[in-house]
Structure 1
Amino acid sequence: MKLNNLLSLAMIAVAFMAFSCGGSDKQSETTSTTTAPAPEKEVSLEEKYKDHPDYVKGLALIKQNDCPSCHMVERKIVGPSYADVAGKYETTDENVELLASRVIAGSVGEWGEIPMPAHPNLSKEDAEQMVRFVLLLKK
C-alpha cells in the first residue's frame, strides 16, 4: 500500500513538472519567433545614380551623341553595356583618359570584332565626362 501511494505521489509530481515545463516552452517559442527582414528592393543603376553629378552630366552628353544606338546601361546590343564596361575597368584617371581616347579615335578588338566608330568632333573633356558616367555604373 505504501508503495502504491509512493508511486501515485511520484506520478503526480512528474505530471506536475511536465505540465509546468510545457507551459514555459510555449512562451519561449512565441518570444523567440521573429520575422525575417523584408528583402531589399532591387534598384536599377539609373535609379541608383540619378542624382550623381557625373551621372547627370554624362547622361546628357551621351543622349546628345550616337551612343544609345550601340550601347545600353545594363544590356548589350551592338557594343557592350555600360555596366559591363564599368565592371572591366576601375575608375582611375588613367582609365578615364584611355577610354576617352578610344571614344574619340574609335577602337576594335576590346569587345569583339565589331568596331566602335570614331567620334573626332567630340572634345576630350566631353569624352572624359561620358566615360566617368559609364564607369559609375558598376553592378
Structure 2
Amino acid sequence: MKKIFIVLCASAMLYSCGGGGAKTEKKDTAATQQPTASANQYEDQALPIIGKSDCATCHKINETSTGPAWKDVAKKYEHTDANVKMLAEKILKGGSGNWGTIPMTGHPALTEEEATVLANYVLALK
C-alpha cells in the first residue's frame, strides 16, 4: 500500500511538471509524432485514442521519455497477434519490469478494442 501511494505521488508530481507551455508542446509533439499515412495503417484509428488518453505524457515515437520510445517497443517485439494481445493487456492493466523500474499505469477507461488498435499502431512503427 505504501509503495502504491509513493508511485501515485511521484506520478502526480511528474504530471504536474508539464505546466505553462502545454499548448505549444502538444502542437510540436503532434507534428513530430505523426508518421506518414502510408507508414502505419493504424494511424487514423490510433491518433484520436492517443489524443483522448495520456499516452503522450510518457511516450514519444522516437525518444525515450518516462516510458520507452514506441519505435523501441516495435524493435523489441515482432508484430504478431500474440504480441498485440500482450501489449494491449499491458496498456489496459499496466505493468513494470520490461523497460526499467518505472511502472506503466493501467488504462481501464480504454476499451479492449482501443487498446488493440494502440498495440497494433505501436508495433507497426518500424
**Fold match, TM over 0.5?**
yes
Report what 2:81 is aligned to: 93
Residues 1:57 and 2:45 are matched in the alignment = yes
Per the TM alignment, residue 86 of structure 1 is displaced from its structure 2 partner at its CA by 0.4
- C-alpha deviations, 1:63-102, integer Å up to 9, x for none? 1100000000100110000100000111111110000001
How many residues in Structure 1 have an aligned counterpart in Structure 2? 95
Distance (whole Å) between structure 1 residues aligned to residue 65 and residue 116 of structure 2 = 22
Structure 2, unpaired ranges of 5+ = 1-31
Question: Which one of 59, 66, 81 corresponds to residue 71 of structure 1?
Answer: 59
Equivalent residue runs for 1:1-139 within 5 Å: 46-49=34-37, 52-138=40-126
Distance (whole Å) between structure 2 residues aligned to residue 45 and residue 108 of structure 1 = 24
Determine helix, strand or coil for the equivalent of 2:51.
helix
Per the TM alignment, residue 62 of structure 1 is displaced from its structure 2 partner at its CA by 1.1
**Structure having the higher Rg:** 1
TM-score of the pair, normalised by structure 1? 0.63
- C-alpha deviations, 1:36-70, integer Å up to 9, x for none? xxxxxxxx883444674311211221111000000
Task: For 2:116, give the aligned amino acid.
Answer: E
Q: Percent identity?
A: 38
Residue pair 2:39, 2:125 contacting (<8 A) in 1 also: no
Structure 1, unpaired ranges of 5+ = 1-43
